[in-house]
Structure 1
Amino acid sequence: MAKKNKLKKELGLFEVFTISTGAMFSSGFFLLPGLASQYTGPSVFVAYLVSGFLILPSMFSIAEISTALPRSGGAYFFLDRSLGPMIGTIGGLGTYFALMFKTAFAIIGIGAYAAIFWDVPIKTIAIMATLFFMVLNLVGAKKTTGLQNFFVSFLIIVLGAFIFDGLYNIFFSDRIDIPKANEHFTPFFTNGFEGVIVTAGFVFVSYLGLTQIASVAEEIKNPERNIPLGMLLSLIVTGLIYFLGVFVMVSIIEPAKFATDLAPAATAVKKMFVWMPGNLGAYLMTGAAMAAFASTGNAGLLSSSRYPFAMGRDKLFPPMFSKVGKKGTPVAAVLLTTGFILLFILLLSEKGIAKLASTFQLLIFLFINFSVIVFRKSNIESYDPGYKSPLYPFMQIAGIIISIVLIAYMGWMAILFTAAIVLLGVLWYRYYARVRVKREGAIFHWFALLGKYQYAELESEFMTIIKEKGLRQGDPFDETIIRSRITFSEKKTNFNELLNYVSGIFSEEMHVRKEDLVNDFLTASAIEPALVIPRVSILFAKKEGIDRPSLHIVIAKEEISKPVEKNGISSDDFIRVFFFLVNPAKEPRQQLRMLSRLVDIIERSNFVDEMMELKSHREIKEYLMHNERYITIHLLPGTVQSNMVGKQLKEIKWPSEVLVAMVERGSATFAPNGNTRLLENDVLTVIGEPKSISQLYDQYLQV
């Protein structure tokens, strides 16, 4: 992917948590509880808990796909690559507008609460807030989320105090009349079980922000850990605050008043926080409400702007929207999104628009759950999620059913709105995108009858994503490099002779048939385009009965002609460096990650020329491992490290999580053990965790 079209990885676990959490807190806590109680009465706080469980299938599905395909655009990218570009276009445009509607109304909420303190037009404040968020988004995602972190932290502190104070007053003080408060819970279910389900659907919108993090997945560091963990933590914290906070409101506010109260949290706080001077408690709650609306607005602008960016990169939108500015942000996409949000703020006033947008989001959840099934059934090996949804496929089937049921409860207006968005997406795809896009989704890899329509480059694209994600913890790449066999081919030879020679060595080591290895090395695969690099050849095989990867590297002093066929045209590549990798058949995705790491190394500038200059096995292996996880220590006389000379490895105190992987002694290189006694001029190659390697650097090599 071109550098100008790539976003910086700046977001960690806390940012994932605050984006997801901030996107969920606004009307869900500060507006909806009273209105929702009309459907089920005091059991409304139970409905919030039920609603949190209803979003679990979609959360698990999005977490899985996000760790496999951490790309900007979230739902759009997932649907495009699973169900094809037409569904992707519908999903992208629909989710884009749905997010912008919600963002616009959240920002209007800032103006509404600001008007409590100052005599200012609500929409003027909303416009100023939008422009402020726009500037932050143009500066960079890290700075955008810096403000988000503040908003969410402040919000959780205030709401935590609200819940603690409320529960204390209800159960441990005489400030609230307990018998009277108990009357608020009778009858508990005013409309029975159906009322709870209807209410859960009504407040479901409160949790929809949870999945917005998927749209910025490309900017998240270590996405395989941070996305699922951040989303789960966000759901737990938000669900508890909703459940306990609404329970406090039900306990304190008269039922008749609660059902029509548009600011129930503010009403409740008037009977609490009496230990604070004046109206400070009310001011704090109002400040928390503004922080909630601001965090939703800020997170909404950040995540929604990634949709035109991702669609522009895929040619479903004009390419100008895929450009990244000097600050590493999609400038045109941010400006377009800001313009739409300002337009909605100025022109729209109907509160029901959030409900309409939520209906479309439910349709997207239905497609997302189905997409997980498609990806799993497609058998695309380079679909390699770091997190897998539990209880597959029952979790996804439940998610599909939940979406259908909740859409039915949203009413005809919401369903018609969703149909209109679908029609817009179809028209945009037919008259703008179809002539520009030639790919198909993973669904064509699933159905054998449609196999002739498989999009061969999908495997290659997913391979590129694997390369960007890097190795997974536990992948034995460094160990494989250390154990690798290296051959310097001094005389001119042909490819077939080399292939038979290397396959013969593997055959003896692994006790497998040489002919089978030759055939495997020669078999082309769908990821082949991702492995094409000038003057380098990567050949790979998978075998049953072996328990670890094995690598053979060949450095050819004279170029070796290798036959290759591209697009039906036969030609020759002239190779100087060969990599032959054999992996256990039970670990196909590990092989892809190993191959992707090799490609990452080979793509270094002047790779072949630098490899040709290296003279020893140790130098080659260290060059291939070169990163923050290894260090070389030369036992030279008169140095700090010379105190190791004459000692066995097990007698030396090493930092935790390091391993002396190689010792070079003269012209020989070998893997040591604990009894190996070190000699003067030995060169030690040590691998381990970055912190431990840094300790060794400071101890032995820092001048």
Structure 2
Amino acid sequence: MGFVHSKSSNLTPFFPYGAEGVFEAAAVVYWSYTGFDMVATMAEETKNPSRDIPIGLVGSMSVITVVYCLMALALTMMVKYTEIDVNAAYSVAFDRIGMNWAKYVVSICALKGMTTSLLVGSMGQARYTTQIARAHMIPPWFALVHPKTGTPINATLLVTIISCVVAFFSSLDVLSSVLSFSTLFIFMLMAVALLVRRYYVKDVTPKNELGKFITCLFVIIGSSIGVTALWNSNSRGWIGYTAAGLFWFVGTSGMMLLPKQRVPKVWGVPLVPWLPSLSIGMNLFLIGSLGRVAFFRFFICSAVMLLYYLFVGLHATYDLAYQDRQESKLGDGKGNDNQVTAS
């Protein structure tokens, strides 16, 4: 409907805020793509996860990317970018072009979309919460699974209630900045974890190879941070960017020369280490585009969670591991007694 009343003249100027505006907006809107990772949380309930999960991830991301791009294009062609209402963009845009009935359709669809996002988010986060409860970092009662449906109903209720309370008492800009920072940081760690998984196996990887891997990884991360720092310092000289780019290239090339300790049998991320290394650089660059306030909010939240882990979660997981070891020893002792009795 938006393309019917679109005007190509509204796309001029195409980059009104320059490259800085593009990267800043990309960093904030990044959290809109976070729903795709919920597909991965369903691996335990999928018949063939090694095949179905990658198909679901790639398929969902491809469809959502195309839809988001078409929606953004339709909006900016309907009204001038200066006239877009950040609180109700499509409803106000349809109202201004005379399609009053369309704004009600958009409002209803937006409400349904938010409800769907809440349900999908609760479903995925409940699986995370279940694993955390199984490790006794929170009360194990939240790890209970319903006997009929096979779903973690207690964890789902916990996540849903907390999400509703936080959303009700928080503003959108605060939530978007914290979620964007967290999402980018997690995706960066995922890329690092992928490299670690491919190039390191405990008690198998030689120490000299491990040292080379760590060195290359630090070079990749350091050069990526260097590019981000140069960009935020408004430095437009090519020497600094070239030097940082060369360090990134050398670090990635050096890692490529190392022997891989794991090779996926069914499906795996291609172009390793280049693709994960590029992901590290892009995520760190977008993190740097969020501003100081986002850093402050993220570190406050991280500090609270770290304190909880150090004073509660760490001791709970240690006690659980100790209990498992004791039960394992008792089981081995009973097995040996049975063997002696039988002999």
Q: TM-score, normalised by structure 2?
A: 0.68
Partner of 2:312: 432
Distance (Å, rounded) in 1 between the aligned partners of 2:94 and 2:116: 21
Q: Does 1:209 align with 2:35?
A: yes
Aligned to 1:312: 133
Residue 234 of structure 1 pairs with residue 55 of structure 2: no
Match of 1:411 in 2: 291
Report deviation, 1:216: 3.0
- Alpha-carbon distance change, 385 to 432 in structure 1, aligned in 2, over 3 angstroms: farther
| Separation in 2, partners of 1:350, 1:269 | 23
Report the alpha carbon displacement of residue 310 of structure 1 after superposing the two structures with TM. Answer: 0.6
Q: Which residue of 1 aligns with 2:222?
A: none
Question: What's the counterpart of residue 329 of structure 1?
Answer: 151
CA contact (8 A) 1:225 1:386 kept: yes
Amino acid at match of 1:412: R
CA contact (8 A) 1:273 1:281 kept: no
Provide the C-alpha distance between the structure 2 equivalents of 1:323 and 1:261, rounded to a whole number of angstroms.
41
Note the C-alpha offset of 1:382: 8.9
Q: Please tell me whether the aligned partners of residues 24 and 290 of structure 2 are also in contact (alpha carbons under 8 angstroms).
A: no
- Considering fraction of residues, name the structure with more strand: 1
Q: 1:418 & 1:426 partners in 2: Cα distance? A: 12
- 2:301 aligned partner: 421
Letter in 1 for 2:90: A
Q: Can you list the C-alpha shifts for 1:420-453, whole angstroms capped at 9, x where unaligned? A: 23223332222223334359xxxxxxxxxxxxxx
Q: Give the counterpart of 2:282 among 385, 402, 409.
A: 402
Which residue identity is paired with 2:170? L
- Please tell me whether the aligned partners of residues 224 and 385 of structure 1 are also in contact (alpha carbons under 8 angstroms): no
For 1:619-630, list aligned pairs within 5 A: none
Residues 209/423 of structure 1: CA separation in 2 closer, same or farther (3 Å cut):
same
Q: Match for residue 191 of structure 1? A: 17
| 2:186 aligned partner | 364
Take 1:571 and 1:385, find their aligned partners in 2: how far apart are those partners?
A: 41
Alignment of 1:235-274 (within 5 A): 235-258=61-84, 260-270=85-95
User: How far is 1:360 from its partner?
Assistant: 1.5
In structure 2, how many angstroms separate the alpha carbons of the residues matched to 1:271 and 1:410? Answer: 31
Asked if 2 retains the 8 angstrom alpha-carbon contact of 1:266 and 1:282, the reply is yes
Q: Detail structure 1 runs of 4+ shifted over 6 Å in the superposition.
A: 271-274, 380-383, 569-574
Q: 8 Å contact 1:224–1:386 — kept in the other structure?
A: yes
Matches within 5 A, 1:65-464: 165-167=1-3, 169=4, 181-258=7-84, 260-270=85-95, 280-326=101-147, 327-349=149-171, 351-379=173-201, 386-437=266-317
Matches within 5 A, 1:542-557: none
Q: Is the 8 A contact 2:125 2:159 kept in 1?
A: yes
Superposed CA deviations along residues 342-380 of structure 1, whole A, max 9, x for unmatched, are: 432443345322221221221111111111111112347
- Which residue in 1 is equivalent to 2:239? none
Q: How many residues align?
A: 271
- Describe the shift of the 1:201–1:350 C-alpha distance in structure 2 as closer, same or farther (beyond 3 A): closer
Whole-angstrom distance in 2 between the partners of 1:298 and 1:187: 39
Tell me, what secondary structure is at the counterpart of 1:351?
helix
Instruction: Write the distance in 2 (CA, Å) between the matches of 1:383 and 1:216.
Output: 23
Rg comparison, structure with higher value: 1
Q: TM-score, normalization: structure 1?
A: 0.35
> Sequence identity, in percent?
24
Q: Residues 464-499 of structure 1, C-alpha deviation per residue, up to 9 Å, x if partnerless?
A: xxxxxxxxxxxxxxxxxxxxxxxxxxxxxxxxxxxx
1:199 maps to amino acid: A
For residues 18 and 192 of structure 2, the distance between their equivalents in structure 1, rounded to whole angstroms, comes to 32
Compared CA separation, residues 243 and 315, structure 1 to 2 (3 A): same
Q: Taking structure 1 as reference, are residues 332 and 255 closer, same or farther at Cα in structure 2, changes over 3 Å only?
A: closer
Cα distance in 2, alignment partners of residues 334 and 187 from structure 1: 46
Q: Please identify which structure carries the higher helix content.
A: 2
Instruction: Please show how residues 490-639 of structure 1 align to structure 2 within 5 Å.
Output: none
3-state secondary structure, aligned to 1:410: coil
| Structure 2 runs not aligned, ≥5 long | 203-260
* Structure 1 counterpart SS, 2:173: coil
What per-residue deviation string (whole Å, max 9, x for no partner) do you get for residues 252-306 of structure 1? 2133212x453222244457897xxxx5533322222112111111111111122
Displacement after TM superposition at 1:570 (Å): 9.1
Contact 1:166 1:272 in 2 (8 A): no
- Matches of 2:338 and 2:273, distance apart in 1: 46
Query: Which AA in structure 1 matches 2:53?
Result: I
SS state of the match for residue 418, structure 1? helix
Tell me the SS of whatever aligns to 2:180.
helix
Counterpart of 1:407 in 2: which secondary structure? helix
8 A contact 2:199–2:262 mirrored in 1: no
| Amino acid in structure 1 at the alignment position of 2:298 | T
Higher relative contact order (CA 8 A, sep 6+): 2
* Contact 1:366 1:400 survives alignment (8 Å): yes
Unaligned stretches of 5+ residues in structure 1: 1-164, 171-175, 440-456, 458-528, 530-565, 575-703
Q: Distance in 1 between matches of 2:87 and 2:172?
A: 15
Q: Which amino acid aligns with 2:185?
A: L
Which secondary structure state, in structure 2, belongs to the residue aligned with residue 435 of structure 1? Answer: helix
**Aligned residue in 1 for 2:210:** none
| Structure-2 separation of matches of 1:384 and 1:570 | 38
CA deviation profile, 1:625-664 (whole Å, cap 9, x unmatched): xxxxxxxxxxxxxxxxxxxxxxxxxxxxxxxxxxxxxxxx
